[in-house]
């Protein structure tokens, strides 16, 4: 399937799961959605009255759900604002734009057993894993860590998963190390949740001698976006702002500049552009260590500024 741009959709339903958790169901404006990977996330574009948010959320629906995608969002007090908007303003029937489902958290094809460890709202990617693992007849177990106040809420979400699920409230819980100590060879562990939990899972598995390739942590794409910065184009004297959700290349294109590019993934080297001033945060796969240190070139499709501004030879 070749997908171009975002998937136009509407809010089809909103369920309140707890005082701070809501499930949002989206239906496509026409046709059906593309098959989403287990563990996929989407970038949801929210157009508020004053600003636009682009937030990444894991889909909680399985690959076969093509007529609707769903996400579960926690209303965070100290958020950039996206979760407030979703919780307080989004209504059934509202339009949203959904990005292509991307997966950086796949199910390992050769794992003999799968151990899923979620923390709080980090459970969400596993909700799309579970039906797939069941259908494949895979050996798995899921451990959900949460506060005592939320054990019932998560218990309801996991009701269909049956005996392979253990919910660990804050007052009585097995340690991650205990869970992992008991696993057969060939087991893979997947974890999503607070950074401390994921670090504990990784440390415990490595301690027990697990190969690093059998430890999987959910991390949203680092190469997409980052700190906003500005670029000045030396030849034309123009200044262009690069937002936190835009690549430098996208910002150049949005300003009507025909910047060279080919793969848009930092591999081909076609977009390499001269840097006259400023410090680059290199994210490409083309430049050598020496070239990076030299700092005279930037791959506009993926790399960004470490300084507040860059001056480019454009």
According to the binding rule CB under 8 A, does residue 37 interact with another protein? yes
Q: Which is nearer to another protein, 108 or 309 (CB)?
A: 108
Q: How many CB atoms lie within 10 A of CB 298?
A: 29
Shortest gap between Cβ of 148 and another protein (angstroms)? 36
* Residue from 9, 21, 36, 297 in contact with another protein (CB under 8 A): 36
Region of 149-157, 232-240, 241-249, 266-274 interacting with another protein (CB under 8 A): 266-274
Region of 2-10, 52-60, 195-203, 230-238 interacting with another protein (CB under 8 A): 2-10
Listing from the earlier edge strand, what are the strands of the sheet with 215-217? 165-168, 140-145, 113-119, 187-192, 215-217
* Residue from 47, 89, 136, 227 in contact with another protein (CB under 8 A): 136
Region of 11-19, 47-55, 70-78, 264-272 interacting with another protein (CB under 8 A): 264-272
3-state helix, strand, coil in the chain (%, to 5): 25, 30, 45
**If phi over 0 gives left and psi between -120 and 50 gives alpha, with beta otherwise, what is residue 264?**
left
Within 60-79, the residues that bind another protein by CB under 8 A are: 63-64
Q: Which is nearer to another protein, 2 or 185 (CB)?
A: 2
Q: Which is nearer to another protein, 98 or 251 (CB)?
A: 98
CA atoms within 13 A on the CB side of 294: 10
Q: Which is nearer to another protein, 267 or 309 (CB)?
A: 267
Rg (the chain; Cα; Å):
22
Closest by CA position to 220, among listed 81, 77, 44? 44
Residue 253 class from Cβ within 10 Å (0-12 exposed, 13-18 middle, 19+ buried)? middle
Q: What would the DSSP string read from start to end of 20-31? A: SEEEEEEEESSS
Angle at 44 between CA 38 and CA 47, to 5 degrees: 170
According to the binding rule CB under 8 A, does residue 30 interact with another protein? no
**If phi over 0 gives left and psi between -120 and 50 gives alpha, with beta otherwise, what is residue 150?**
alpha
d(CA 111, CA 184): 11
According to the binding rule CB under 8 A, does residue 106 interact with another protein? yes
Task: Specify the pairing of strand 272-277 against strand 309-312.
Answer: antiparallel
* Residue from 29, 135, 207, 277 in contact with another protein (CB under 8 A): 135
According to the binding rule CB under 8 A, does residue 138 interact with another protein? no
Region of 103-111, 150-158, 227-235, 271-279 interacting with another protein (CB under 8 A): 103-111
Shortest gap between Cβ of 220 and another protein (angstroms)? 13
- Residues 233 and 285: beta-carbon distance below 8 Å: no
d(CA 310, CA 125): 37
* Residue from 13, 16, 29, 35 in contact with another protein (CB under 8 A): 35
Q: Which is nearer to another protein, 92 or 265 (CB)?
A: 265
* Residue from 4, 78, 258, 289 in contact with another protein (CB under 8 A): 4
* Residue from 84, 264, 296, 306 in contact with another protein (CB under 8 A): 264
Within 189-248, the residues that bind another protein by CB under 8 A are: 213, 223
Q: Which is nearer to another protein, 8 or 19 (CB)?
A: 8
Query: Which residues are at the interface with another protein (CB under 8 A)?
Result: 1-4, 34-38, 40, 63-64, 100-103, 106-110, 132, 135-136, 213, 223, 262-269, 285-286
């Amino acid at each position: 399937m070749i997908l171009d741009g975002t998937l136009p959709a509407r809010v089809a339903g909103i369920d309140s799961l707890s005082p701070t958790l809501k499930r949002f169901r989206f239906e496509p404006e026409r046709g059906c959605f593309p098959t989403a990977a287990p563990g996929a996330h989407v970038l949801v574009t929210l157009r508020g009255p004053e600003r636009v948010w682009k937030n990444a959320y894991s889909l909680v629906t399985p690959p076969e759900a093509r007529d609707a995608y769903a996400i579960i969002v926690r209303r965070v007090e100290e958020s950039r604002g996206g979760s407030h908007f979703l919780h307080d303003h989004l209504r059934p029937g509202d339009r949203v734009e959904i990005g292509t489902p991307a997966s950086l958290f796949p199910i390992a094809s050769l794992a003999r057993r799968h151990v899923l460890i979620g923390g709080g709202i980090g459970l969400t990617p596993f909700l799309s894993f579970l039906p797939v693992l069941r259908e494949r007849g895979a050996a798995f177990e899921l451990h959900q860590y949460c506060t005592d106040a939320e054990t019932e809420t998560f218990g309801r979400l996991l009701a269909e998963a049956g005996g392979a699920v253990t919910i660990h409230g804050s007052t009585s819980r097995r340690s991650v190390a205990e869970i992992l100590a008991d696993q057969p060879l060939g087991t893979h562990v997947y974890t999503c949740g607070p950074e401390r939990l994921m670090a504990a899972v990784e440390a415990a598995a490595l301690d027990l001698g697990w190969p690093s390739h059998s430890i999987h942590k959910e991390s949203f794409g680092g190469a997409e976006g980052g700190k906003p910065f500005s670029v000045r184009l030396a030849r034309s004297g123009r200044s262009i702002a690069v937002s936190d959700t835009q690549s430098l290349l996208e910002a150049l294109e949005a300003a009507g500049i025909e910047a060279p590019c080919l793969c848009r993934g930092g591999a081909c080297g076609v977009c390499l552009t001269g840097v006259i001033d400023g410090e680059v945060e290199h994210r490409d796969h083309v430049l050598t260590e020496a070239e990076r240190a030299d700092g005279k070139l930037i791959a506009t499709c993926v790399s960004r500024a470490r300084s507040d501004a860059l001056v480019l030879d454009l």
